[in-house]
Homo-oligomer: A and B are copies of this chain.
Amino acid sequence: MIKTPYLLFLGDAPDQLAAKVAQGIKDWRPDNAVGQFRMEGCNADVGLTDMTLEEAKAAGAKTLVIGVANRGGMISQAWKKVLVTALEEGFDLASGLHNLLRDEEDLVAVAKACGRELHDVRIPDVDYPIANGVKRTGKRCLAVGTDCSVGKMYTSLAMDKEMKARGLNSNFRATGQTGILITGNGVPLDAVIADFMAGAVEWLTPDNDADHWDHIEGQGSLFHVSYSGVTMALIHGGQPDALILAHEPTREHMRGLPGYDLPTLQALRDTALNLARVANPDCQVVGISVNTSAWDEATAEAYLAKVEAEMGLPAVDPFRQGAARLVDALLAL
């Protein structure tokens, strides 16, 4: 559990895209961030107040979150100076970088001396159990994709936000680095040991109130041969009551796999539902989330209408249209 609220470290981000973790926190959990910290030469701006470490501390910030990708896989000396000072001033540090905070001897030494914590969210810090398959109370919704990186996290965050806006009982459950930094906790599922994957998902989505919904962040795709085992563990560990099919209609082949066609939405529906019902015989597919960002409004709407007619399920782009109709479908179960 990473202590909130955060100060978002944008460092010397070369462009806005490099700060997408910080942007995600700002977009989805604005209450988790008191401000942003930018170094000289930073070309990103997530629209929060620029603060010094002292100002952020005074505003209540507990953790400096590295919300930017670093250049060349190294934590530079310029960054180090800020990170060390932050530890000395009482901030914990949190990072989703490939190169770990815990591998930097100076940061480890200063953190220890100051009694601060270093959170590397790519590495599990819990001994997860082996899944026991016992039926849990409360409800769970999982987005499954025709491919990787088609908008599953965005869909789940949008559904959670919509439910919270309606005063309903809901959580987003992060299973990847960005999601974990956005919410402050979760399971870095792609880094979990094989035998414990499904157990980690059970751990993440425990018994809850009867009217509570967990929106579980999906990973990979049943049709992506590199990562399908991770998706399978989410389906069986999550024992979802509802599935959302997620799709990006302009993808020419599976991400990183030339020669592998995307499945149809029908194939995804049938395959995922068949497997999900092993863990939860009542599971239903309730809607379709399409990432139409490559298209103009008219093209997007025509496509969504066609998919909706073909599949007999609400088909929406939650970024363009919000997640209200997906939530309606969930609540109609």
Contact = CB atoms under 8 A, between A and B. Distances in A.
Contact of A226 (B199, B222, B229): B199
Interface in A195-244: 195, 197-199, 222-223, 225-233, 236-237, 239
A275 to B, nearest CB: 7
Nearest to A227: B195
Interface in A233-291: 233, 236-237, 239, 254, 256-257, 259-260, 263, 271, 274-275, 278-279
Contacts of A42: none
**Size category, A interface:** 35 or more
A130 interface: yes
A255 B189 CA distance: 24
A132 interface: yes
Interface string A128-159: 00111101000000000000000000000000
A191 interface: yes
Contact of A189 (B132, B194, B275): B194
Contact of A195 (B222, B230, B236): B230
B195 A193 contact: no
A190 interface: yes
A192 interface: yes
A225 B236 contact: yes
A124 to B, nearest CB: 10
B192 A130 contact: no
A198 B232 CA distance: 13
A191 B260 CA distance: 28
A130, A135, A229, A239, most chain B CB atoms within 10 A: A229
B260 A133 contact: yes
Contacts of A191: 193-195
Contact of A271 (B132, B190, B260, B274): B274
Which 10 A/B pairs are nearest by Cβ-Cβ distance? A229-B233, A225-B236, A232-B232, A229-B229, A190-B195, A131-B226, A229-B232, A133-B225, A133-B257, A197-B229
Given A191-B194, A197-B229, A228-B233, 8 more contacts: A130-B226, A132-B256, A133-B226, A189-B194, A195-B226, A223-B278, A229-B230, A271-B274
Interface of A: 130-133, 135, 189-195, 197-199, 222-223, 225-233, 236-237, 239, 254, 256-257, 259-260, 263, 271, 274-275, 278-279
